[in-house]
């Protein structure tokens, strides 16, 4: 192993040479007083993806109290804190040193949620590992060795010690984040036994800065206050107790006038599967871990899904027991999204009229009279939603601003008026009695069967052109995987592109391991999570990149299901 001094000397000697000579420092490990630096990959030119490095701080240097990184949930919370600190300090201390990304030290960007990520990991013994990128400096294609030396041996250690070593950190803020994550997790764990699917603490800030900015709305936000009848007080380890809105199991409607905050509340429930950073406004808003948003998504591809619970006898006798299409309609896409979510373990369904197919959601009396059931392939969700709860214990929270027929099938109704919540369950029942919908139920006697699917490994082809593996993630909305270009804008619970990169790696992994064409998808999902549990991130390959984040089986399946090449 070489010292940082020797690295500086090497970089000085490279000054003026052509960019490719930077390869001299690749795959080397350098010893610094407080950590080791490993150069994992050297970029090919100053405009290419920057070079990947990894630093490892032994427990003595990181000096994290054990109470902040054991058990592993605390390590995830603390590592997230360190990642954000690194990002901040690196932004302050990085300087533009020349062409392209010269001089830039960057850690993978994060969102408002706290996730297990490869960017910073804290081992059981308190070792801290950080993975980030460095733009090795050049002017044109000439190495700026005299700038590279201080960048790697002065600036980089300054960033590392100011963001990854406990003495330099805001200890109170770090502890607050760790305790918050434990509290939120305890609230989430407690939901099921209390008969709840979600909890939103009083005082939570629901609206966001904008559609493109996930930080809390800074002025004019009306903090959440639960209606007294839905208010629950839950215990948690650090705060003692928290009081707020408890959304019960069963079928819950969110009603109210347009622009009164319905979709905003539902979006908070969607994101309640994650823990949020302090100050986010949703840090004490938690949902069942298996809650899934179900949207219509016309145009998506579908591979061999049994959608007979919702759709039967399509024109031209197309089978819906094993339904495949390259171009789904609004209703078939929503039916497939729902059946696929059940296959992947969904326990709570979140639907918004705004993003649903109208004919999937319901058919009123008059339409039933004009187009009688034999001519309508769809058994609408309104006739299935109770079956899902009674037969499969799958609850639903639905934003219903227009369809009062749902009053017949709902257990609870929450109204939003001027962003204030009211329990209107009793009024809903009274109105349902006074004005019968006179609909004919079209859902049959039971929800119906779901079929296991067997994804075929060769249909997860990674090849594109001459490249054996082509994977590109540009945002949370789009993945290029081999020849596939997958639109994920309807998979709204993917919040970081880091998750999508990890999912892409996991697709490659399952193709080589668990997926053999004989195993049903739900078994493949279980095997993948078990392998990740047992072997950690390195199950997916070494050396680890710094831009992976944890994901649920539900999102993994959602990506797999949208591969246009998929055969199942």
Distance CA 493, CA 552 (A): 10
Q: What does 279 interact with, of Mg ion, ligand ADP, none (CB < 5 to 8 A by kind)?
A: none
Q: Which of 263, 331, 396, 497 binds ligand ADP (CB under 6 A)?
A: 263
Nearer to ligand ADP, 176 or 221 (CB): 221
Does 264 help bind ligand ADP (rule: CB under 6 A)? yes
Nearer to Mg ion, 352 or 547 (CB): 352
Q: What is the DSSP string of 226-292?
A: --GGGEEEEEETTTEEEEEEEEESSEEEEEE-TTSSHHHHHHHHHHTTSEE-TTSS-TTEEE-TTEE
Binding part of the chain for ligand ADP, among 161-169, 177-185, 219-227, 509-517 by CB under 6 A, reads 219-227
- For the CB of residue 88, give the shortest distance to ligand ADP in the complex, in Å: 27
Q: What does 222 interact with, of Mg ion, ligand ADP, none (CB < 5 to 8 A by kind)?
A: ligand ADP
- For the CB of residue 223, give the shortest distance to ligand ADP in the complex, in Å: 7
Place of tokens 């629901």: 206
Number of residues that bind ligand ADP (CB under 6 A): 14
Nearer to Mg ion, 263 or 459 (CB): 263
Q: Which of 71, 228, 258, 315 binds ligand ADP (CB under 6 A)?
A: 258
- For the CB of residue 221, give the shortest distance to ligand ADP in the complex, in Å: 4
Does 206 help bind ligand ADP (rule: CB under 6 A)? yes
- For the CB of residue 121, give the shortest distance to ligand ADP in the complex, in Å: 35
Torsion of CA 557, 562, 565, 568, to 10 degrees: 50
Does 218 help bind ligand ADP (rule: CB under 6 A)? no
Q: What does 260 interact with, of ligand ADP, Mg ion, none (CB < 5 to 8 A by kind)?
A: ligand ADP
Residue list 416-455, contact with ligand ADP (CB under 6 A)? 419
Closest CA to 404 of 357, 377, 373, 365: 365
**Lookup: tokens for 52:** 């990947």
Does 262 help bind ligand ADP (rule: CB under 6 A)? yes
Q: Which of 221, 427, 432, 539 binds ligand ADP (CB under 6 A)?
A: 221
Question: 302-305 and 395-399 as β-strands: parallel, antiparallel, unpaired?
Answer: unpaired
Does 227 help bind ligand ADP (rule: CB under 6 A)? no
**Lookup: tokens for 513:** 């391991």
Q: How far is CA 565 from the centre of its chain?
A: 23
Does 222 help bind ligand ADP (rule: CB under 6 A)? yes
**Lookup: tokens for 306:** 């049994």
Strand order in the sheet with 478-481: 471-475, 478-481, 484-487
User: Any residues with CB less than 8 A from the CB of 530 and at least 6 apart, and which?
Assistant: none
Q: How far is CA 521 from the centre of its chain?
A: 20
Residue list 237-266, contact with Mg ion (CB under 5 A)? 263
- For the CB of residue 245, give the shortest distance to Mg ion in the complex, in Å: 18
Secondary structure class of 558 (helix, strand, coil): helix
- For the CB of residue 45, give the shortest distance to ligand ADP in the complex, in Å: 44
How big is the chain, counted in residues?
568
**Lookup: tokens for 275:** 């823990």
Nearer to ligand ADP, 42 or 400 (CB): 400
- For the CB of residue 210, give the shortest distance to ligand ADP in the complex, in Å: 8
Q: What does 220 interact with, of ligand ADP, Mg ion, none (CB < 5 to 8 A by kind)?
A: ligand ADP
Binding part of the chain for Mg ion, among 81-89, 274-282, 348-356, 433-441 by CB under 5 A, reads 348-356
**Lookup: tokens for 286:** 């938690």
Secondary structure class of 315 (helix, strand, coil): helix
- For the CB of residue 427, give the shortest distance to ligand ADP in the complex, in Å: 18
**Lookup: tokens for 420:** 């204030």
Distance CA 155, CA 152 (A): 6
> Are 281 and 221 a contacting pair, CB within 8 Å?
yes
Closest CA to 125 of 29, 35, 61: 61
Q: What does 407 interact with, of ligand ADP, Mg ion, none (CB < 5 to 8 A by kind)?
A: none
Q: Which of 261, 362, 448, 545 binds ligand ADP (CB under 6 A)?
A: 261
| Residue 244, number of CB atoms within 10 A of its CB | 23
Maximum Cα–Cα distance for the chain, whole Å? 87
Nearer to ligand ADP, 256 or 448 (CB): 256
Calculate the alpha carbon distances from 316 to 14, 324, 326, 330, 333 in Å: 70, 14, 17, 19, 19
| Phi, psi dihedrals of residue 252, rounded to the nearest 5° | -120, 130
Nearer to Mg ion, 142 or 282 (CB): 282
Does 535 help bind ligand ADP (rule: CB under 6 A)? no
- For the CB of residue 423, give the shortest distance to Mg ion in the complex, in Å: 20
Nearer to Mg ion, 263 or 271 (CB): 263
Nearer to ligand ADP, 354 or 391 (CB): 354
Secondary structure class of 564 (helix, strand, coil): coil
Does 403 help bind ligand ADP (rule: CB under 6 A)? no
- For the CB of residue 204, give the shortest distance to Mg ion in the complex, in Å: 18
Does 51 help bind ligand ADP (rule: CB under 6 A)? no
Burial (CB count within 10 angstroms: exposed 0-12, middle 13-18, buried 19+), residue 469: exposed
Residue list 238-257, contact with ligand ADP (CB under 6 A)? 256
Distance CA 547, CA 324 (A): 34
Calculate the alpha carbon distances from 477 to 270, 290, 486, 490 in Å: 16, 21, 8, 8
Nearer to Mg ion, 354 or 391 (CB): 354
Q: Give per-residue burial for 514-525: e unless 16+ CB within 10 Å, then b.
A: bbeeebebbebb
* Interface ranges with Mg ion (CB under 5 A): 263, 354
* Interface ranges with ligand ADP (CB under 6 A): 206-207, 220-222, 256, 258-264, 419
């Amino acid at each position: 192993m070489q010292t940082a001094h020797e690295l500086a000397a090497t970089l000085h000697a490279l000054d003026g040479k052509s960019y490719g000579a930077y390869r001299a420092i690749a795959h080397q490990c350098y010893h610094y007083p407080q950590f080791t630096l490993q150069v994992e990959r050297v970029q090919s030119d100053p405009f290419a993806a920057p070079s990947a490095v990894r630093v490892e701080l032994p427990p003595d240097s990181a000096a994290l109290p054990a109470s902040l990184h054991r058990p592993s949930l605390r390590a995830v919370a603390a590592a997230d804190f360190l990642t954000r600190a690194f990002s901040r300090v690196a932004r302050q201390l990085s300087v533009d040193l020349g062409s392209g990304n010269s001089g830039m030290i960057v850690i993978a960007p994060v969102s408002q949620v706290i996730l297990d990520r490869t960017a910073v990991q804290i081992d059981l013994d308190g070792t801290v590992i950080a993975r980030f990128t460095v733009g090795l400096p050049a002017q044109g294609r000439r190495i700026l060795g005299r700038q590279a030396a201080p960048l790697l041996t002065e600036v980089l250690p300054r960033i590392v010690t100011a963001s990854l070593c406990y003495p330099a950190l805001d200890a109170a803020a770090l502890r607050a984040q760790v305790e918050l994550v434990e509290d939120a997790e305890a609230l989430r764990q407690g939901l099921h036994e209390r008969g709840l699917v979600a909890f939103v603490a009083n005082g939570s800030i629901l609206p966001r800065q904008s559609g493109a900015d996930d930080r809390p709305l800074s002025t004019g936000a009306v903090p959440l206050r639960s209606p007294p009848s839905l208010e629950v007080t839950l215990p948690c380890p650090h705060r003692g107790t928290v009081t707020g809105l408890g959304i019960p199991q069963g079928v819950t409607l969110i009603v109210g006038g347009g622009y009164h905050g319905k979709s905003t509340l539902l979006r908070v429930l969607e994101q309640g599967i994650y823990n949020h950073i302090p100050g986010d406004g949703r840090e004490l808003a938690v949902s069942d871990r298996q809650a899934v948003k179900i949207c219509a998504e016309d145009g998506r591809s579908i591979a061999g899904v049994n959608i007979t619970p919702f759709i039967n006898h399509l024109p031209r006798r197309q089978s819906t027991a094993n339904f495949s299409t390259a171009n789904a309609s609004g209703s078939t896409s929503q039916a497939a999204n729902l059946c696929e979510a059940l296959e992947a373990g969904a326990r709570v369904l979140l639907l918004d009229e705004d993003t649903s197919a109208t004919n999937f959601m319901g058919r009123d009396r008059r339409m039933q009279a004009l187009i009688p059931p034999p001519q309508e392939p769809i058994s609408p969700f309104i006739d299935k939603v109770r079956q899902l709860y009674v037969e499969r214990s799958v609850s639903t929270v639905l934003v219903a601003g227009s369809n009062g027929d749902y009053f017949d099938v709902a257990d609870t109704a929450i109204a939003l008026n001027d962003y204030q919540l009211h329990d209107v369950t009793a009024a809903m029942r009274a109105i349902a009695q006074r004005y019968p919908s006179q609909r004919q139920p079209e859902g049959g006697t039971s929800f119906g069967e779901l079929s296991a699917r067997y994804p075929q490994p060769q249909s997860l082809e990674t090849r594109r052109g001459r490249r054996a593996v082509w994977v590109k993630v540009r945002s949370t909305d789009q993945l290029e995987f081999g020849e596939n270009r997958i639109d994920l804008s309807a998979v709204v619970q993917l919040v970081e592109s880091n998750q999508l990169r990890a999912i892409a790696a996991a697709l490659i992994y399952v193709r080589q391991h668990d997926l053999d064409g004989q195993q049903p998808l739900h078994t493949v999902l279980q095997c993948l999570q078990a392998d990740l549990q047992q072997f950690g991130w390195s199950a997916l390959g070494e050396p680890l990149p710094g831009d992976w984040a944890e994901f649920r089986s539900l999102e993994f399946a959602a990506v797999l299901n949208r591969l246009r090449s998929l055969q199942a």
